[in-house]
Structures are given as structure tokens and as C-alpha cells.
């Protein structure tokens, strides 16, 4: 198997895990534990975008539309402050919220 094929397998594995078709454990047990996204934490929409870009480059648009839908859901769940001049006066260990818009300025991932 060449590097390109391994990368492709990694992306397909990521797609299957991100879309809940299979689990990381199942992929590992099958002996092809390559992934195109960071495993072991919460999915991050930036990482899913990287997988999406890959399938875009292959023009696999059905894969892309499923991933886009998931990215949109994640972004809706996690609104972030987009103020140019955010205001805040409390510092929580997990989140610093903006007083102007009420959304987090930074979210720290455990």
C-alpha cells in the first residue's frame, strides 16, 4: 500500500467514525487504525473540515454533504464570540464568556 492509499483509508475511517457508522475501537480491531482526524477527544469542527476538504479534492460530494451537515450542527451547538472588542470580567477554568454577546471567547478543551 502506498502513502496515498493509507491516507485515503485514514480519511474513510474518519468519515465512518464522524458519521457514527463505526467506532474508533471497531476500526482499530480491524487492524487499519489510521485516522485523518484527532481521535480520543470531542470532534472539533476544524478537524472535520480537514476531512471534508480531502473528499472535496476527490469530488466525493455525497461524503462532503454529510460532513457539512455535521459541521453545521457542531457550530450551532458551540457559538463563539465574534465581537471585535469583547468584554469580560470573569475567568472560569473552562470558559471565558463575552459580556457583550454572551458567547464564549475561548473554550478550553479538557
- Tell me which of 37, 81, 97, 104 binds Zn ion, using CB under 5 A: 81
Distance CA 96, CA 105 (A): 6
Q: Which residue is nearest to Zn ion (CB)?
A: 98
Q: CB of residue 47 vs Zn ion: minimum separation in angstroms? A: 24
Q: Which is nearer to Zn ion, 65 or 100 (CB)?
A: 100
User: Is residue 97 a contact residue for Zn ion (CB under 5 A)?
Assistant: no
Judge whether 14 and 36 are in contact, CB under 8 Å: yes
User: Is residue 100 a contact residue for Zn ion (CB under 5 A)?
Assistant: yes
User: Is residue 104 a contact residue for Zn ion (CB under 5 A)?
Assistant: no
Distance CA 38, CA 80 (A): 21
Judge whether 107 and 94 are in contact, CB under 8 Å: yes
Q: CB of residue 105 vs Zn ion: minimum separation in angstroms? A: 7
Long-range contacts of 80-88 (CB under 8 A, 24+ apart): 80/104, 80/105, 80/107, 81/105
Q: Where along the sequence are the contacts to Zn ion (CB under 5 A)?
A: 81, 83, 86, 98, 100-101
Amino acid at each position: 500500500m502506498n502513502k496515498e492509499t493509507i491516507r485515503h483509508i485514514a480519511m474513510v475511517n474518519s468519515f465512518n467514525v464522524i458519521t457514527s457508522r463505526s467506532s474508533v475501537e471497531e476500526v482499530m480491531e480491524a487492524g487499519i487504525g489510521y485516522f485523518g482526524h484527532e481521535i480520543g477527544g470531542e470532534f472539533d469542527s476544524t478537524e472535520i473540515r480537514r476531512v471534508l476538504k480531502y473528499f472535496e479534492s476527490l469530488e466525493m460530494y455525497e461524503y462532503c454533504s454529510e460532513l457539512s451537515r455535521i459541521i453545521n450542527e457542531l457550530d450551532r451547538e458551540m457559538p463563539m464570540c465574534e465581537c471585535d472588542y469583547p468584554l469580560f470580567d470573569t475567568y472560569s477554568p473552562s470558559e471565558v464568556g463575552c459580556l457583550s454577546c454572551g458567547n464564549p471567547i475561548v473554550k478550553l478543551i479538557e
